[in-house]
Structure 1
Amino acid sequence: MLSAAVNSLKHAVPRCAVSSRLKHTLPDLPYDYNALEPTISADIMQLHHSKHHATYVNNLNVAEEKLAEARATGDVSTEIALGSALIFNGGGHINHSIFWQNLSPNGGGEPTGELMSAIQRDFGSFENMKKTLSASTVAVQGSGWGWLGYNKAAGKLQIATCANQDPLEATKGLVPMFGIDVWEHAYYLQYKNVRPDYVNAIWNVANWADITERFNKARQ
């Protein structure tokens, strides 16, 4: 599982060319830091994006540089030891890159079209999916994520949770549609220790246009 997750991360994270190697970079937000207020405060968004996500990106680049050195010298032990750093920081980069796009100041409401039909087929109703995903996400022990994902093999939507920064597709085999970050840095400044209030509020900024696009791509 560890090797599969590491291999998946190599192909899943956005990159840009820098000097002699490809480095990961912090993506720009598609909106201002204060755009999601009052659901998520500008202070949280700025810290979450410019500090926490940036740290994952920087640490991922460092881990990949060490991995390249280990491979060049045939140091298999170091390659194996770097697996957890690649998953944690690579997963943090993947997860947050999806998270920013999953949210919108014009979000909320309900999806339409084929995505709504799939939700009704797989969960009975939109409200049932929402309640199930919210409950699963609130119940994550410690830090992690709640996800609405797509199972390509089964052709259906599924709900899953991931610990820490484990990336959904690399570790659970589901294509991520909509993720809810329940690390404390995602909500504590505003919601304190009341995680359910944050999870319930985030639906007000859910970007169904982005989620629908991911759904359509996953089915191709």
Structure 2
Amino acid sequence: MFTLADLPYAGDALEPHMSAQTLALHYDKHHRGYVDKLNELLETADTGGSTLDEVIRRSHARPARTAVFNNAAQCWNHDFFWKSMKPDGGGPPIGEIKNRIKRDIGTITAFNEAWASTAAKHFGSGWLWLTLAGGKLEIMTTQDADLPRTHGRTALLACDLWEHAYYLDYHNRRAEYVQVFLDHLIDWDFVNSNLAAAS
């Protein structure tokens, strides 16, 4: 049985950039729903595993286990998303990730523009990621529940592009939400720790 991990901050800690109402709906309803559905599916599916990573690996690209993969991946994605943010976060990158962005993407302005344009081009629901692939940083999106590891990439940072992540606060203005995430919410220390672990 999997359990819903605690948030790394209080429910109102990301205000005014992400409201307590949005966070409560997203975490208590959507994220909890994925955890509950995954546990329900694992009672009957032959896709067990002691960790979420194992369940994802064993169910990926197996049509009979698509529901298991989708719910397991969404559990993992949301756990990672919550950790990608912190109160008083965002702003220019710091530490080694700043150096790697300049090396692999160009200026910080170029990174910000690529982040925004990649999100704008994504159709429908999914996720926006900063990843490491072959030792190089890449910005990418995945559709629905998909995640970077299925494409041979390591996740460093995640921004949820599903409408429930921003619709209460930003209505249909996804671009504004993505910019606010960049300017005020990213936990660059978390990104740097992921980079160090992957290097």
**C-alpha deviations, 1:141-194, integer Å up to 9, x for none?**
11001110011xx2111111100011221x211111111111010000111111
Task: Look up the equivalent residue of 2:126 and give its one-letter code.
Answer: G
The correspondence for 1:140, drawn from 122, 136, 144, is 122
Partner of 1:87: 69
- Other structure's SS at 1:136 match: helix
Partner of 2:42: 64
Task: Look up the equivalent residue of 2:166 and give its one-letter code.
Answer: Y
- Other structure's SS at 1:66 match: coil
Larger Rg over CA atoms = 1
Partner of 1:180: 159
**C-alpha deviations, 1:46-67, integer Å up to 9, x for none?**
0100110001111111222221
Q: Partners of 2:128 and 2:41 in 1: how far apart?
A: 26
Task: Look up the equivalent residue of 1:86 and give its one-letter code.
Answer: V
Q: Partners of 2:20 and 2:89 in 1: how far apart?
A: 17
Stretches of structure 2 lacking an aligned partner (at least 5 in a row): 49-61
- Other structure's SS at 1:104 match: coil
The correspondence for 1:115, drawn from 97, 108, 112, is 97
Stretches of structure 1 lacking an aligned partner (at least 5 in a row): 1-22, 71-79
- Other structure's SS at 1:53 match: helix
Q: Partners of 1:197 and 1:179 in 2: how far apart?
A: 16
Partner of 2:144: 164
Contact 1:119 1:157 in 2 (8 A): yes
Q: TM-score, normalised by structure 2?
A: 0.88
Deviation at 1:82, TM superposition (A): 3.8
The correspondence for 1:39, drawn from 17, 22, 30, is 17
Q: Partners of 1:29 and 1:92 in 2: how far apart?
A: 15
Deviation at 1:69, TM superposition (A): 8.7
**C-alpha deviations, 1:102-133, integer Å up to 9, x for none?**
00003112222321111100001222112112
Aligned residue pairs, count: 185
Partner of 2:28: 50
**C-alpha deviations, 1:58-114, integer Å up to 9, x for none?**
1111222221399xxxxxxxxx55421122111100100000000000311222232
Deviation at 1:139, TM superposition (A): 2.0
- Other structure's SS at 1:68 match: coil
Contact 1:138 1:199 in 2 (8 A): no
Runs of 4+ deviating beyond 6 Å: none
